[in-house]
Structure 1
């Protein structure tokens, strides 16, 4: 039976006319689910077809305007009319919810997905949306001995971004002592550091959050950086972990002691003093995108004006009326350009390669009053809405990234990938009238070969402003006046913004990490060839766990929040395995590690981003994909559900 959490929603006090108006703005699939929860009548599922996954590219090509889930306007009106009747009865019954048995719950899942789900996928979804209110991802010890040992198992967490705060919350819930070391002055990680104009997340906010702590008050569907940082900060407060964070402190090195089977973690504190912390385990939550990478251009330091990285945007700087150059055309530049174009006297964008983008009409939109109302007041609407966002972002997309060996084309890797290329191209072409500009912005590599971006038209509109110029010539050097391109032209500017990415292939950089028998992680990995089992554990480095480590970046598998929860779930169960069995340390077996990474490399090589014809930040300088997870999210969830003791040596 599904035990409803009646206190999880606020009372509906609005009048029917107001409710009717708001229902028209909601997500139809989630609304249908809420109807069943309020009425207890699953037969209503026969009134409408199952929702269809129609991405925004496909939707833009439809001759008839479709609502979310592929519903027609008429079907949407029918859903809203019936929902209003059900809400009326629900309120007349004092907002009491009928209990739904497992058979009805299975019907709801099958309806939402449009087909019968196997038991494993069903279990995965049930855990993710937790309709029964039970959080299955926390750590629970099976024995009193394990709980007692937990109190003597100190953990050092490095980083207070999404992953670090999540790990801290889970450890506190389990009664495991911990300290979080954070180099910045506040919680947020990348969302604290990146506060350039226009900075926002490119997955829906209602999915970019912890499953156990939904946020119904996002201002925008795709929240701005400050709102995301504030969310993680509020989570740290609400779950009582902020007092465990040492801000303005940085881990210099961490060494595993073979005798004590513990880690010695050297920390440079806010006053510049060094302190050594002893820990039974170390969790690295520094992520992949935490060390800005400035371009290696001759004369960079000779520029007379301000030159800075987009991830180190100076507080209070104003570029209004300035002549500005932006180096780079990736995700950060994509967000920065439309904002700077509004006020700069002139804006020159130096592009190395164009980016694929798909249309998203709500990318800059604020969350409607109706949506906030439904998330807070319609039973289970928020759960199913989160699931819908999650489901549509992963299903039907993954296969479009895989290489068909019988497909031979320079700018696509399969028929379905080429179909997407044509749709994306048509959308880009529809916004441009200048053939010369179109030639510059239209990519000639397969979709998903580089990070694919989204826009509501503002980026391409910005490129067509009179004060904006897109340049594709290479930069030969920088001098005091500006940038000199390979054609010999000098581009005089007042400010240079480097939107040139991060040292994404230098995991745990610049910390010095030493494992068993004095083995240096930098030697084992090399400068930029990080490998880990499941992206989390590394042979010769016992009880060292990585969140968002090598080969865990998501390209088409939904929100990174889902991935972080899978990783923290696995790490917690590794700790439980140690404590329940009275072990001191666990060390990943080399053969297990190598076999896993061989599989990772093979699958990555068969994707659009792994193609040897494509260069991107996902690869190191040897051409190996070090960043991306090549599996579906359901596969990774299964892999990280429980650690297999046979994968490790124990001491």
Structure 2
């Protein structure tokens, strides 16, 4: 366990008038927590109701716009005065904070969640929020023997995105040598590669970051790609990961050598030079959405103008005043279309199916100075704010995705799911007045049957501009001057952007990975049927670990950053098993792997995204969900907290 999470705060020097104004920007539940930390007095919790989660529609349904947590402006004003009182006493003490015992901390958790917690859930929160400043997710090799063994355990990490940089940081902290292989010239993974107009994350930035390395300087609540890339680049620099990275280099093949119990990893750099690295373990952090997939349309090679994938947007491309086509209406297109609608002379959007969108007025909102002030200066505010974002994204939604076998409506999978469908329908209807357009943009499949997108109104507003046309006729061909649809119309354009997704069902593609007895990973997986125990380990491939592997994508379970930390935690403790036991390798038992994946398939099949009535990128060509984790995030956290020796064969 590493103690580098103490909540350091800057001194509060602003006067009450300035503070009072800034408080209106802040999260009310987190303010209540900060009051207790500054005062040591929990009586404030008895004067106000516990916070509750609400969507945008519910927040304004009663006539008065409620603030985060369901508080009225009058309640918030009273809480602000209590904050000012607590700050005054805190400053008078010179910035010292009272010690809170475990009972008080438990009371804070219960209040913030709005209900009594079982011990498992409280442990889960304690680790995530780390009020005690102890980072429980790193690997600390305590003895000299373990440290020496660690120094002789070289690891190769494939991929320098969120997961790869995290693995490098953790291995470096433990003193384990590693080499990170990155195919690009910089770090950041998908955030390095995707730089299309409007590219941003759809998870709040303050929770889309490492738990041990908060960023209080996000410019937007949902940051743009360049800012996210810069965050991971800074983390890599600060923790020395760059020094271990080979840029512009790809892994061509990895082969397990049984005699030496090592992986022989063949890499090729940008000049075509090959090298072979020897590793005791390989960590794949290549991601699921990193190989662009162009559509299979007749004539795609005949177009006269620029034709490109959204994930490989040409640098310096100027489409102002041009006639532009966007093929696709998923997450990337959802962000691209409003941007192009502002500058293109004509924008034609080709939609195969519409998207459900979750109302989020703050999706493009800048982080105010008050919020930045609080994150830096209010004791423990940043920790509780991160937890609030995290908690409200994982609770209260999961049950709405589960299929009720008795439910009989193709537009939803249960009564709870239908309730959400009606709320999301009302949101879309509130923005579209044209009945013909409404019919095109209103989904007829269940919510969560495909990826739900964050919406602040800009997408549907863009579709209603005079220079924008939404086409739902199927595409039959691409011709030199445009796109031909099934109704015979040729839509003439100057450029075509294909927002058509990735090879999401081809994990570790296109590397050739060979395990025990010459088994090919591609053959074992049948190319598009990836399976792994916990999404991390694979039978016949000893000491191979995956981050963001098969069935680990999150739909309703919070930030992928948390998931990556759970996976790296498991990998680190697996390596510890090997070092402590003097083992050369660990290989997951086939029966353990199969039993786990049977459970994954069973639960996924009973969700909206696994329901037989929908098609999506979560499924492979056979209809099996290969992308998504079907469990609650607390369950997956528990599964990955400590590997079980009985699940593996050691040699």
Give deviations 1:537-559, integer Å, cap 9, x for gaps. Answer: 00000000000000000000000
Q: Where does residue 81 of structure 2 map in the other structure?
A: 81
Question: Residues 473 and 195 (structure 1 numbering): CA distance in 2 closer, same or farther, change over 3 Å?
Answer: same
Is the CA contact (8 Å cut-off) linking 2:39 and 2:97 kept in structure 1? yes
| 1:288-303 alignment runs, 5 A limit | 288-303=288-303
Find the aligned partners of 2:60 and 2:158 in 1 and give their Cα distance.
Answer: 44
Q: Where does residue 380 of structure 2 map in the other structure?
A: 380
- Structure 1 SS opposite 2:81: helix
Find the aligned partners of 2:5 and 2:173 in 1 and give their Cα distance.
Answer: 21
Q: Where does residue 532 of structure 2 map in the other structure?
A: 532
Find the aligned partners of 1:379 and 1:185 in 2 and give their Cα distance.
Answer: 39
How far off is 1:250 after superposition?
0.2
How far off is 1:89 after superposition?
1.1
Q: Where does residue 643 of structure 1 map in the other structure?
A: 643
How far off is 1:406 after superposition?
1.6
Q: Where does residue 152 of structure 1 map in the other structure?
A: 152
Find the aligned partners of 1:483 and 1:61 in 2 and give their Cα distance.
Answer: 44
Find the aligned partners of 2:59 and 2:645 in 1 and give their Cα distance.
Answer: 47
Find the aligned partners of 2:254 and 2:43 in 1 and give their Cα distance.
Answer: 59
Is the CA contact (8 Å cut-off) linking 1:4 and 1:97 kept in structure 2? no
Q: Where does residue 38 of structure 2 map in the other structure?
A: 38
How far off is 1:244 after superposition?
0.5
Q: Where does residue 66 of structure 1 map in the other structure?
A: 66
- Structure 1 SS opposite 2:69: helix
Is the CA contact (8 Å cut-off) linking 2:266 and 2:276 kept in structure 1? yes
Q: Where does residue 108 of structure 2 map in the other structure?
A: 108
Find the aligned partners of 1:328 and 1:464 in 2 and give their Cα distance.
Answer: 17
- Structure 1 SS opposite 2:324: strand
Give deviations 1:37-75, integer Å, cap 9, x for gaps. Answer: 000001111010100011234325443210000111111
Give deviations 1:462-489, integer Å, cap 9, x for gaps. Answer: 0000000000000000110111001111
Is the CA contact (8 Å cut-off) linking 2:4 and 2:135 kept in structure 1? no
Q: Where does residue 10 of structure 1 map in the other structure?
A: 10
Find the aligned partners of 2:280 and 2:57 in 1 and give their Cα distance.
Answer: 49
* Residues 399-408 or 503-512, more deviating: 399-408
Long gaps (5+) in structure 2: none
2:418 aligned with 1:418, yes or no?
yes
Is the CA contact (8 Å cut-off) linking 2:6 and 2:133 kept in structure 1? no
Is the CA contact (8 Å cut-off) linking 1:34 and 1:380 kept in structure 2? yes
Find the aligned partners of 1:119 and 1:610 in 2 and give their Cα distance.
Answer: 32
Give deviations 1:338-366, integer Å, cap 9, x for gaps. Answer: 00000100000000000000111110010
Is the CA contact (8 Å cut-off) linking 2:5 and 2:130 kept in structure 1? no
Is the CA contact (8 Å cut-off) linking 2:7 and 2:379 kept in structure 1? no
How far off is 1:7 after superposition?
6.8
| 1:100-139 alignment runs, 5 A limit | 100-139=100-139
Is the CA contact (8 Å cut-off) linking 2:50 and 2:112 kept in structure 1? yes
2:223 aligned with 1:223, yes or no?
yes
Is the CA contact (8 Å cut-off) linking 1:142 and 1:580 kept in structure 2? no
2:398 aligned with 1:398, yes or no?
yes
Give deviations 1:460-515, integer Å, cap 9, x for gaps. Answer: 00000000000000000011011100111100000000000000000000000000
2:506 aligned with 1:506, yes or no?
yes
How far off is 1:405 after superposition?
1.4
Is the CA contact (8 Å cut-off) linking 2:5 and 2:212 kept in structure 1? no
- Structure 2 SS opposite 1:8: coil
| 1:516-527 alignment runs, 5 A limit | 516-527=516-527
Give deviations 1:514-535, integer Å, cap 9, x for gaps. Answer: 0001000011000100000000
| 1:73-472 alignment runs, 5 A limit | 73-472=73-472
2:622 aligned with 1:622, yes or no?
yes
Find the aligned partners of 1:532 and 1:409 in 2 and give their Cα distance.
Answer: 34
How far off is 1:272 after superposition?
1.1
Is the CA contact (8 Å cut-off) linking 2:4 and 2:212 kept in structure 1? no
Give deviations 1:283-341, integer Å, cap 9, x for gaps. Answer: 00001000000000000000000000000001110100000000000000000000000
- Structure 1 SS opposite 2:596: helix
Find the aligned partners of 1:530 and 1:4 in 2 and give their Cα distance.
Answer: 37
Q: Where does residue 586 of structure 2 map in the other structure?
A: 586
- Structure 2 SS opposite 1:19: helix
Find the aligned partners of 2:352 and 2:593 in 1 and give their Cα distance.
Answer: 36
Find the aligned partners of 2:23 and 2:81 in 1 and give their Cα distance.
Answer: 9
Is the CA contact (8 Å cut-off) linking 2:507 and 2:550 kept in structure 1? yes
How far off is 1:33 after superposition?
0.2
Is the CA contact (8 Å cut-off) linking 1:326 and 1:498 kept in structure 2? yes
Find the aligned partners of 1:60 and 1:242 in 2 and give their Cα distance.
Answer: 48
Find the aligned partners of 2:76 and 2:473 in 1 and give their Cα distance.
Answer: 50
- Structure 1 SS opposite 2:283: strand
Is the CA contact (8 Å cut-off) linking 2:532 and 2:597 kept in structure 1? yes
Question: Residues 6 and 13 (structure 1 numbering): CA distance in 2 closer, same or farther, change over 3 Å?
Answer: farther
State TM-score, norm by structure 1.
Answer: 0.99
Equivalent pairs, count:
649
Is the CA contact (8 Å cut-off) linking 1:158 and 1:164 kept in structure 2? yes
Question: Residues 613 and 477 (structure 1 numbering): CA distance in 2 closer, same or farther, change over 3 Å?
Answer: same
* Residues 598-607 or 52-61, more deviating: 52-61
How far off is 1:5 after superposition?
8.0
Find the aligned partners of 1:282 and 1:168 in 2 and give their Cα distance.
Answer: 12
Find the aligned partners of 2:262 and 2:632 in 1 and give their Cα distance.
Answer: 35
How far off is 1:142 after superposition?
4.5
Find the aligned partners of 2:23 and 2:87 in 1 and give their Cα distance.
Answer: 11
Is the CA contact (8 Å cut-off) linking 2:59 and 2:67 kept in structure 1? no
Long gaps (5+) in structure 1: none
- Structure 2 SS opposite 1:69: coil
* Residues 206-215 or 76-85, more deviating: 76-85
The root-mean-square deviation of aligned C-alpha atoms, in Å, is 1.1
How far off is 1:176 after superposition?
0.3
Runs ≥4 residues deviating over 2 A:
3-7, 55-64, 141-144
Is the CA contact (8 Å cut-off) linking 1:209 and 1:215 kept in structure 2? yes
| 1:546-565 alignment runs, 5 A limit | 546-565=546-565
2:473 aligned with 1:473, yes or no?
yes
How far off is 1:230 after superposition?
0.1
Is the CA contact (8 Å cut-off) linking 2:256 and 2:263 kept in structure 1? yes
